[in-house]
A and B are shown apart, each in its own frame.
Chain A
Amino acid sequence: MTTSTPDASVHVRDLKKQYAVHEKEPGFMGSLRSFVSRKTKYVEAVGGVSFDLAPGEVVGFLGPNGAGKTTTLKMLSGLLHPSGGEARIAGFEPRKRETAFLKQITLVMGQKQQLIWDLPALDSFLVNQAIYEIPDAQYHATMREFTEVLSLDGILKKQVRKLSLGERMKCELAAALLHRPRVLFLDEPTIGLDVNMQEAVRAFIRDYNERYGATVILTSHYMADVTALAQRILVIDSGQLVFDGDLARLAEQGKGGGKTVKLKLREAVSAAQLAPYGGDVKVDGLSVELTVPRSEVSARAARLLADLDVADLTVEDPPIEAVMAELFGATAKVEKEAVSG
């Protein structure tokens, strides 16, 4: 059941953030020099990002470390004042941090955020209930629902500092969503968790999105998070938005717009023999992988089947990790060429 409202939309125009960074040479002399005259450098963390999200949309926000993902999320949640541009989240300007705005959003970053370290998680939930002015009936209904979906039974009365990483993350998520926010900013919500726990968190986010029609912006280094949850991908690199589209279109950008053909052969062949059929040839015993142009997939596959003793043939989009690596590699290369040129 989706209960989305037009309020949960996100509009971002030319959003910028510049940081002042103090630089110091290492060692004693560096410290002395810095004491007398400190060097300040201005770094552009986000250099004019624009996008719109419809209510209920789940978007994967990807990019290498230091690309500007977290800075953008912090600006959208009102933690950072932008250096330029504007953002409207659920109809509010984040930097004003109005009470009504804060009740509409949540930002999850890491596993030591909301919970009171020395007390059971239940105490933190009660604090959030009071601060967010959640009516008793809604609080109990939400707690029942979260306890079931996140399997919180038995851990709510344990001291937070005695919870495992996974248990703590589940409690953090529950605390962050207790007030049923309409816009979720999730920064690496599964980082450090084991595979089962990652899947549980993904299922919880998916369920929350479907149940409440919440708009979700998700950053993650685990592509499984993104492919499982997001319909649309935003890629940011060096503070610039370099891609905005769906997963399939992102996959098309990989391997120069090619597809990956995987073969199981009955007789071994060399890489040189396979070269005429495609690029990026990888041979591992009887398993072979090569990239062919998207427009020639049918013809090349037919030739492979005719010319070689093939036991099995599959055609796939390149893995999203490879696409990302290629995309960021290309950006870095362009930057390097621009500098050297």
Chain B
Amino acid sequence: MSVIRKTRVLFATRFAEMAEYRAEVIIWMLSGTISLVMMLVWMAQAANAPGGQINGYDASQFATYFLSVWLVGQLLVVWVGWELDFMIRQGTLSPKLLRPMDPMWVEYAAHVAERFVRIGPMLVLLVIFAALSGASFTREWWAYPVTLGLCILGFTCRFLYEYTLGLLAFWTESSTSFSEVAWLLYAALGGLFAPLTFYPQWVQDIAIWTPFPYMLGLPAQVLAGKATLAQAGSGALILFSWVVLFWFARLLVWRLGLRKYGAVGA
């Protein structure tokens, strides 16, 4: 009962807080459009290519893929590493440590609540971008709940590793540089710049041992109708394994980090 109450109250207050920043959320959403820029580049390349295709993708399929990547990317946005870096260095983590609840849950609730502020304008933009680019998503009904499931797993995975990286501020002057590197890997191996099959084979061989292709590229391929239910299922299992791994990694780094905490300032 108390877990339900805590979840409800945390979600409600964080939603109210995020709603205060609704204009900023929309602007922030518009700033995260690298995949749409990549869409324009690849669509132009495909239009000029012999047969109007590159690696089996025509302009419309590029539009569908990159718009799907954009959509999934919007649901996977995580800023907790920056929050933790600030909280640890400025000491504002202290009041959160005094409460009988892991501060991670408050941050998780804030991220989930933000998705609900984001989703309305996001769907409007999706319809506009799809109409402009000629993207057409799969008509398989199962693809949509499966994409949502993969997004929840992918978001949790990203949240946990970003949280763990943010905790490195217990030891370093600033942990945000680690988050920058993590973003590059996430974007490159996730398929933000191009579908993973466009990369050299050795890069693809490395990428499948990371969580990134399953977080971003796989749900986008499901939406685009280029991945099967079986591929989505095995991807979900791999993502779940990464979630478990990052859960324990976070716990370990958290416990070690608290011993180093200086509780400066506040």
* Residues of A near any B CB (own CB < 8 A): 19, 74, 77-81, 97, 99, 102-103, 105-107, 109-110, 112-114, 116, 118-119, 123-124, 126-133
What are the interface flags for B1-35 relative to A under an 8 Å C-beta threshold, 1 for contact and 0 otherwise?
Answer: 01001101110010011001100000000000000
Question: Per-residue 0/1 for B233-266: is the Cβ within 8 Å of any A Cβ (1 yes, 0 no)?
Answer: 0000000000000000000000000110111001
Within 12-65 of B, Cβ neighbours of A (below 8 Å) are at 13, 16-17, 20-21
The tally of residues in B whose CB lies under 8 Å from a CB in A reads 25
Complexed CA–CA distance, A177 and B97 (Å): 16
Can you name the residue of chain A whose Cβ is closest to the Cβ of B4? A130
Provided the pairs A103-B100, A126-B9, A127-B9 are in contact, do residues A74 and B263 lie with their beta carbons within 8 angstroms? yes
Q: List chain B residues, Cβ under 8 A from A133.
A: 2
User: What are 25 of the A-B contact pairs (CB < 8 Å)?
Assistant: A77-B98, A78-B97, A78-B98, A79-B98, A80-B263, A81-B261, A102-B99, A102-B100, A103-B100, A109-B266, A113-B94, A113-B266, A116-B17, A118-B17, A118-B21, A119-B13, A123-B16, A126-B13, A127-B10, A127-B13, A129-B9, A130-B6, A130-B9, A131-B99, A132-B100
B145 within 8 A of A: no
B94–A79 CB distance below 8 A: yes
- Chain A positions within 8 Å of B259 at CB level: 81
Asked if B95 is an interface residue, CB under 8 A from chain A, the answer is: yes
Flag if A79 contacts B17 (CB, 8 Å). no
Task: List the B residue with the shortest CB-CB distance to A102.
Answer: B100
> Complex: how many Å from CA A335 to CA B47?
82
Which residues of the partner chain B approach A118 to less than 8 Å between Cβ atoms? Answer: 17, 20-21
List the B residue with the shortest CB-CB distance to A133. B2
Point out the residues of chain A lying under 8 angstroms from B9, CB to CB: 126-127, 129-130
- Nearest chain-B residue to A107 (Cβ)? B98
Q: A109-B94, A116-B17, A119-B13 are in contact. Are A80 and B261 (CB under 8 A)?
A: yes
Most B-side CB within 10 Å, residue of A79, A106, A129? A79
Residue on B with the closest CB to A120? B16
Chain B nearest CB: distance from A158 CB in Å?
14
Interface contact A123-B98, CB-CB below 8 Å: no
- Interchain CB contact (< 8 A) of A131 among B6, B20, B21, B262: B6
| Shortest 10 CB-CB contacts between residues of A and residues of B | A130-B9, A102-B100, A99-B100, A113-B95, A79-B263, A118-B20, A130-B6, A131-B101, A81-B259, A74-B263
The residue that A80 contacts in the complex, of B10, B17, B21, B262, with Cβ under 8 A, is B262
In the bound assembly, the distance between CA atoms of A128 and B13 in angstroms comes to 11
In the bound complex, CA of A296 to CA of B205 (Å): 93
> Cα distance A116–B262 when bound, in Å?
23
Chain B residue numbers with a CB within 8 Å of A105 are: 98
Task: Provide the bound-state CA to CA distance between A119 and B14, in Å.
Answer: 10
- Contact B100 A131, beta carbon cutoff 8 Å: yes
CB distance from B227 to the nearest CB of A (A): 40
Contact yes or no, A110 B100, CB < 8 A = no
Within 8 Å by CB of B97, from A79, A119, A129, lies: A79
Q: How far is the CB of B145 from chain A (nearest CB, A)?
A: 30
Q: Which residues of A contact B95 (CB under 8 A)?
A: 113-114
**Complex CA–CA separation, A110 to B91 (angstroms):** 12
A79-B261, A127-B10, A131-B6 known; A102+B16 contact, CB < 8 A: no
Question: How far is A106 from B261 in the complex, measured between Cα atoms in Å?
Answer: 19
Contact indicator A130/B5 (Cβ below 8 Å): yes
Name, among A99, A124, A133, the residue most crowded by chain B CB atoms within 10 Å (CB to CB): A133
